[in-house]
Amino acid sequence: MSSLHGFGLGILSVNAQSESLDTYFPHPLAGVSGSEAEALQGVSGVLDDAQLNELAHTLRKLGNDAMATLATRLAESSQPVVATSLSSNAPPTSVEEAYLKLHLISHRLVRPHETDLSGIFGLLPNVAWTEQGPVDLRELTQRQLDARLRGEILEVSSVDKFPKMTNYVVPSGVRIAHTARVRLGAYLGEGTTVMHEGFVNFNAGTEGPGMIEGRISAGVWVGKGSDLGGSCSTLGTLSGGGNIVISVGRECLIGANAGLGIPLGDRCTIEAGLFVTAGTKVSVLDADGNTVETLPARSLAGKDDLLFRRHSTTGAVQCLTNKSTIALNEMLHANN
């Protein structure tokens, strides 16, 4: 039986040399199989109006009215339209494939690490992101001059390989106080609140509900009901050649200005200001507060009900069983 890891019809942005800058996929598909996968298997590249209308007819016969309607609307547009299919979960080989994979995550069709993003930095161009869309950096000066001559200002919000998510996808049931701090390719589960100083990178995100006032680095997954305090940090896998996937379990609390460098189990707490890395020496305490053993924090990775704190006099990092879990304010996460 035929299958596709993903498929999308997208609006393509290009530079003066017809090189791809980005692609907007309003209705991507994941895990396509059966007769629909067979019909889409050979559909790829820039499509003209006739091809789009033929595709719409085929999709409507297969019962996919949403994608059929999209194809019809795109046929009426003057913008270049590209069909992109992912026959398997392999690393992306083009800008269009990279953007489709990022859309699949932000649309909650796949979770972080469920689609291969290897080599994505080498594929994506570094562009100026403006209110007129992406602009090739080699063309930016002329575009700014053209705008000034019209009595306008071309606003450049960032210069980056990744755009902000909300210009492409706004998931249901979330609040994002500062949209520039959530990149396309982030996964925000229902009930997630990202406050002004919160940050969510691509291929990372939250199961939801959750309160994010700190940093979720690339590759990090945060479980249901967890709270990342102001200016706290999680180590990603992009810096220092690391390959350990950092995660935060369910109903955890990472205090303000704290940090995490190991996978954390459920119902764990890291006190404010304490950064726990894999090599941090931790004194494990028994019920009476006596040190049972001292070991590196990596030995406690993934274990539940732990409280990490620093002794206020000696400065030693301590760990004890934490039977009291945090409770998120349900009203804060009703993001309807």
Q: Is 251 a known active-site residue?
A: no
* 147 shares a domain with 107: no
* pTM metric for this prediction: 0.93
As given in the structure block, the two tokens for residue 62 are 């297969």
In this structure, which amino acid lies at residue 335?
A: N
pLDDT tens per residue across span 8-30: 999 999 999 999 999 999 999 99
* 175 shares a domain with 136: no
Q: Which of 207, 208, 151, 158 is nearest to 183 (CA)?
A: 158
* Block residue for tokens 């955890």: 252
Query: Is 44 in a helix, a strand, or coil?
Result: coil
* 318 shares a domain with 184: yes
* 142 shares a domain with 257: no
Q: How far apart are CA 181 and CA 199, in angstroms?
A: 5
Q: What CATH number corresponds to the domain at position 92?
A: 3.30.70.2010
* 217 shares a domain with 95: no
DSSP alpha helices (H): ranges in 244-334?
A: none
* 226 shares a domain with 85: no
* 294 shares a domain with 154: no
Residue 24: give the domain boundaries: 3-123
pLDDT tens per residue across span 305-332: 999 999 999 999 999 986 554 444 554 4
Q: How far apart are CA 61 and CA 27, in angstroms?
A: 18
As given in the structure block, the two tokens for residue 2 are 């035929």
Burial level of 238, CB count in 10 A (0-12/13-18/19+)? middle
* 253 shares a domain with 194: yes
Q: What CATH number corresponds to the domain at position 204?
A: 2.160.10.10
Choose, from 36, 97, 207, 213, the residue flagged as catalytic.
213
* 310 shares a domain with 178: yes
Mean pLDDT of all residues in 157-183: 97
Q: Which of 263, 194, 187, 180 is nearest to 227 (CA)?
A: 194
Neighbours of 170 (CB within 10 A): 12
DSSP 325: P
Q: How far apart are CA 128 and CA 315, in angstroms?
A: 46
With a pLDDT cut of 70, the percent of the chain lying above it is: 93
